[in-house]
A and B are shown apart, each in its own frame.
Chain A
Amino acid sequence: MNAVKFLFAAYIATWVIHGVYLGTLVRRFSHLRRQLKELGKGK
């Protein structure tokens, strides 16, 4: 029964990893959009 904590840990870890990666993508997107705007090419 105690093993269930490992199951939840695995599921949570999976979504934390995906969340962190998606967060970096969003951050990089906004950084590039800002750079493009500064270059006068923003859409």
Chain B
Amino acid sequence: MQVTPDRPSFRVRWPVCSGQQRPSRSVKRWLSALRIAFALLFTTFLAIQLNAQSQPGDEVKPAPLLTGSAGFITTFDGGEPHLHPIATPLLLVPIGQRWVFESRATFESDLVQVPGQSGFHGTVEKEVEYAQLDFIANPYMTVTVGRFLTPFGIFNERLYPVWIRNLQSDPLILPIGIGPSNASTGAMVRGGFKAHPKFNINYAAYFSALSTVNKLDSARFAGGRAGIFVPAARLEIGGSFQHGLQDERSNAFGFHAIWQPPALPLDIRTEYARSIVGSGYWVESAYRLSQVPFLQNELRRTQVVARMQQYFVGENASDDLPSVNTRLFEFGLNYYFIDGLKASANYGRQFSSAGNSNVWTMAITYRFVIPLGRTGGE
């Protein structure tokens, strides 16, 4: 089929007349942002109108909280020791019936031995990972503005804190799709609801603006994530999509799954991600030894973990990702002393054309909760 150069288009074009200038690129961007904001507001307004009488189910007035986690992680990477103390306080301030302000910061250091000096040396890195205001518009939708963790895949948003993750090392593909500093600056709508008697649906759609502020940088992109959760099978599967709105304007996509067989104390998690900077996957299984018939007091606190992951280099290089194709196998043991206090020991073997290496990790992590007000328990 022949296509004529001046084929009529159905797209709306800016009128171009003699003496009339095209709107600048920045004006177009603002108009585009306005359109998106209007669409978000309209969707929110529609949902609020349809379910105007619905109230969040807080029968108890929530108290502000300072929670988060702290950990001390020791790594031997290729024989080189690293000491990695980390603290991630999370401030939660519920406001009224529908609002929450939440912010998480990270204080961490990578202490290494310097030739010619005794001891370990390093600097403390400080970063506000996110600071977001959430408005629970109705049971189906929450609107978030500010700086938020990019909802691409599951690890960045839900499994990142050291007290949650089963293995202390990040998956190789973690940097894919989450932007610089793991966060976005902009707006997001998200929620979860029961769409069918047998499954729930959860979703997130977001827009992030470009920010070059030190420690608060973000890229300009838009995307979404959706998942289906089947409570009876304890299975969640979902996918993520992201479209870059700067530079190469490339796309990224991924899939994730979480399965906890109801009959076993077993967690199986997996993620796949692909973008212009690379692609890869990880599969992790964690088995709690609570069904072993002997030494029950100790073994029910013990968890055996294994993870396999593979990364393939993409067209564009990224400093946050390996420079060559890499495979990594990891095995770990977690011991839960009490709620929130965990000791971990992991071993990993990395295979790549840059050289194979062993990675040993030992860690102790703690999750703390400090109410900033009356707790209602007295």
Are A and B part of the same complex?
no
A interface residue numbers (CB < 8 A to B): none
